[in-house]
Structure 1
Amino acid sequence: MRTQSLTALFVLLGATNVHAINNRHAHKRQTPPPAASGTAIPPIESITFGMPTKSAPTVTATFSPGEAVPVSGAPPLPTPFIFSPADWPEQDHIPPTDSDEVTQWMKELDGFDIPNLNPTVDGSCVNDTAAAADAANRGWWTCGGHTRGTDIVACPDKLTWGVSFDDGPSPYSHEISVHTWSHKHLTALTNEQIVAELGWTRHAIRTVLGVTPTTMRPPYGDIDDRVRAISLAMGMIPIMWTRTPDGGQFDTNDWKVAGGLVTGKDSFATFQNILSNASVIDTGFIVLQHDLYEITVDLAIGYTLNAALTHSPPFILKPIGQCSNTLTGNLYFESNQNATFPYTNQTEGGYDFDGDGVVDFKTGKGGSNAGFTHSIPTLGVTLLVAIAVIMV
């Protein structure tokens, strides 16, 4: 995780589409661009890599420990977070798997049928032709867009956009989801590494916000049945983004603008094409966008959101939880009122969110639930109701 995200909120760090460079952080390195004056959104032609940056906005409100939150059933705000590097794994690196925390989190997989799939070479199709050839059986999204009934890929109502932004943090009433610690391709990791990636991020969010997400998004959308099963065993439902029947992705490519690969004008043209596709599909949709960079925020605030609102017919914009008619409280373990959402842990141990050996959450006697089976369902339809990511 990036330092600014870790110290501010520990939230989503930016799922991206798989690209030839295979790394959205692979930016051109150069002298920082000159600062811009004012706060107006630049013309679309000016939104490109190297554009002048503006000063960060001033914090407009602070909140005290113990204050109530607007989510029914959620605990009050925790003690303010003070980052100490000694308490956390190295940022932007896969966490060690020999820690006491990971040992505790691995217990959450007990009783679940985790598919015995070998990790991919690097999460790409071109470098793992054997796995790519078996992508349909593996449920590998990267190679062919294969999804399962547990994946969240669209809002159910036509012309409804479940608005989400990877990266964060932002202070305005967003729904929060896990997006891993180091932003690596999860299919290329071992079971223990996947657990560490999800566990540490989940722990960080709970430490800062006092709540634990019940959803996650895999970096680059790189997920298969093994990654799904581990995520669900840890109580997190995967969130993807929409694809058209012919494989077109609802990806704005805004991350490519920040990486110097395309211009803002190119990205906006991609988004306009997305809106055209969204007008003809039978469901709503989820789009891949980011807010870690000023460039991507300018694109969203100045262009993409307005384009959707002024489109004919106009789109209805909602957070993904709202567009799915999911109670906001159900997006977090502490306030979840749905006994079968997500897939509850049935082991005696329950969930140890902090990895300290103390059970934080259990469902039913012995952690079991009548609606749960040992095998996590992965063979359902590809379009389900959307639940949660970071949103406006």
Structure 2
Amino acid sequence: MFSRVLPVLAVSCAVANAHHAAAPYHLVARQGTSTTSSASHAASTPAGSASHSSSSTTSAAAPGGQTPSSTVTVSFPPGSTASDAVPLDKIVPIAVQPTPSGAPALPDISTWSAMQSGYPSADPTWIADVKNSGVSIPTLEPRYFDPGADNCNVPANQARAANNEKEGYWTCGHYVRDTDITECTTSKTWGSSFDDGPSDSTTKLLAYLDQQKIKTTFFTVGSAVYWRPWTLQEAYMDGHQIAVHTWNHHGLTNLTNDEVIAEFGWTKKIIKDVLGVTPVYFRPPYGDIDDRVRAIAKAMDLTPVMWTVTGDVDHPFPFDTFDFSVPGGEATATEAVGQFQKLIAQAETLGKGFIVLEHDLYWQQVDLAVGYFLPAAAQAGFKVVPVYECAGQELVNAYIETRTTTSLPGGSTGTNSTGGTSGGTGTNGGSTGGTGAALPSLDAVKVVLAAVVAGAFAVAAAL
């Protein structure tokens, strides 16, 4: 039943991260250079180079207490000439206070070991918690969903097309509820968000954001955090908002209740273990959500964040940079920039702010963000902010442990507007949610992870 939610990483992601599992780097270390042959990567500058514009000197003590015959002077080179140089104010102790006021101390993950930390370990109480939450889960059958398909035109979904609005189905029709965050509260405000990290490329993005004094929201994939907890800590300590993007990046309407619970539960757990705090925001992969998924999310204290879509059902205009189409060759970088120019023009006509979808999984996506999208946003006069600020909230209210209010962002009343037929909690399409059905065993999880890691190293060695 739970085979689809075992933590099987995509081969491309596993290959990209395999070397990191073997040699984790320091919390605050940033990528200064890139190994790619792209022109933009060749021109990239180490983070914080401006902070090392001057040299300093020190005298070396003579060994054994002897008086030195002459003073030895050591000159520290500017950061721009030292590829490993990190701004000194970024080299902080593990126990430094995290950004959100009142947050717990940052967990010490210096001994983190991917294959020994036991992730993900299923917690059967998640199912019971959802059952006892008081939230009624609509009895909607799981939908057909394939990331590479035209999901609105497959027979199974066409047969339910008349119910799309009633079920709040976003994938076909972009139907939303009052509890969804879909836009910003003030005009000329750009709700910035990056999905699918942390990855190798996230550190370059963090360096740029730090240089430009921009904060964003990272919707993180739990299985990626598994391999890069240090990168997540760096983003969090830099003051960026961390949110949930599920464990395996599945289309959620295709999963059973228990599988959705596992996707949320595992991701919330690993984020808390790495950061000490638990996010209250999430974004469904591919935007795939309906009222059943919304209800499960609400029962697990999660608020949906989409991206802005204007127009109508037949002629929608999503505020999607389409950067995800570039790494695989479905679109060129030039085409992505062209789409972005249309996005800017559309944004100028809105009376409210908007939320933009970007990604930090591949270097092509980050290069587009730091070289084109974010500079263009600043040039156009938009205020780039993380989602919590876009929704009129404070950073402390982005996490369970620090929030000062339980009101949902964006002025929601906290009641979930659900469609479909109201039914008992935890039952749908053969799912046994609410009955205490067992989640995957830890031993089974470790076997799958071991196979994935071995395969990743084998592929990487062949490259």
Q: TM-score, normalised by structure 1?
A: 0.71
Indicate whether 1:107 and 2:128 are aligned: yes
Residue 83 (structure 1) aligned with residue 113 (structure 2): yes
Q: Distance in 2 between matches of 1:40 and 1:64?
A: 28
Q: Is residue 178–residue 416 contact of structure 2 (8 Å, CA) maintained in 1?
A: no
Q: What SS class does the counterpart of residue 244 from structure 1 fall into?
A: strand
Distance 2:370 2:263 in 1: 31
Letter aligned with residue 338 of structure 1? T
Amino acid at match of 2:42: G
Do structure 1's residue 72 and structure 2's residue 101 form an aligned pair? yes
Instruction: Check 1:249–1:100 CA distance in 2 against 1; reply closer, same or farther (3 A cut).
Output: closer
**SS of the counterpart of 1:377?**
coil
Deviations 1:346-369 (A, max 9, x none): xxxxxxxxxxxxxxxxxxxxxxxx
Q: Residue by residue, what CA displacement relative to the aligned partner does 1:44-93 show, whole Å, maximum 9, x if unpaired?
A: xxxxxxxxxxxx9876645433321121111111111613335455xxxx
Instruction: Judge conservation of contact 1:69–1:75 (CA < 8 Å) in 2.
Output: yes
Residues 59 and 132 of structure 1, relative CA distance in 2, 3 Å threshold: farther
Q: Distance in 2 between matches of 1:57 and 1:116?
A: 55
Contact persistence 1:64–1:77 (CA under 8 A): no
Residue identity matched to 2:250:
K
CA distance in 2, matches of 1:198, 1:87: 19
Q: Is structure 2 residue 218 aligned with structure 1 residue 178? A: no
Q: Which of 311, 318, 321 is 1:252 aligned to?
A: 321
- Segments of structure 2 that go 5 or more residues without pairing to the other structure are 1-8, 26-34, 46-82, 203-234, 420-463
Matched, 1:220 2:286: yes
* Number of aligned positions between the proteins: 302
Structure 1 match to 2:253: 187
Q: Tell me what 2:416 maps to.
A: 376
In the other structure, the counterpart of 1:230 is: 296
Deviation, 1:320, is 1.7
Maintained 8 Å contact 2:253/2:289 = yes
**1:120 corresponds to:** 143
Q: Distance in 1 between matches of 2:326 and 2:139?
A: 38
- Structure 1 CA distance for aligned equivalents of residues 159 and 295 of structure 2: 21
One-letter identity of the residue aligned with 1:320: V
How far does the alpha carbon of each residue in 1:137-175 deviate from its partner, in whole angstroms, 9 at most, with x for none? 110000000000000011011111011111233434310
* 127-136 vs 246-255, which moves further: 127-136
Q: Higher strand share goes to which structure?
A: 2
Q: Is the 8 A contact 2:139 2:292 kept in 1?
A: yes
Q: 1:59 to 1:182 in 2, by over 3 A?
A: farther
Alignment of structure 1 residues 344-359 onto 2, 5 Å:
none
1:292 and 2:315 correspond: no
Stretches of structure 1 that go unaligned for 5 or more consecutive residues are: 10-31, 42-55, 90-94, 343-370, 380-392
Q: Aligned partners of 1:303 and 1:199: how far apart in 2?
A: 36
1:144 aligns with 2:165: no
Q: CA 1:58 to 1:264, structure 2 compared with 1: closer, same or farther past 3 Å? A: farther
2:359 alignment partner, SS class: coil
* Counterpart check, 1:207 vs 2:286: no
Distance change in 2, residues 1:163/1:57 (3 Å): farther
Counterpart of 1:158 in 2: which secondary structure? coil
Pairwise CA distance, 1:105: 0.8
Normalised TM-score (structure 2): 0.60
Percentage of matched positions with identical amino acids: 40
C-alpha spacing 1:35/1:252, structure 2 compared with 1 (3 Å): closer
SS of residue paired to 2:311? coil
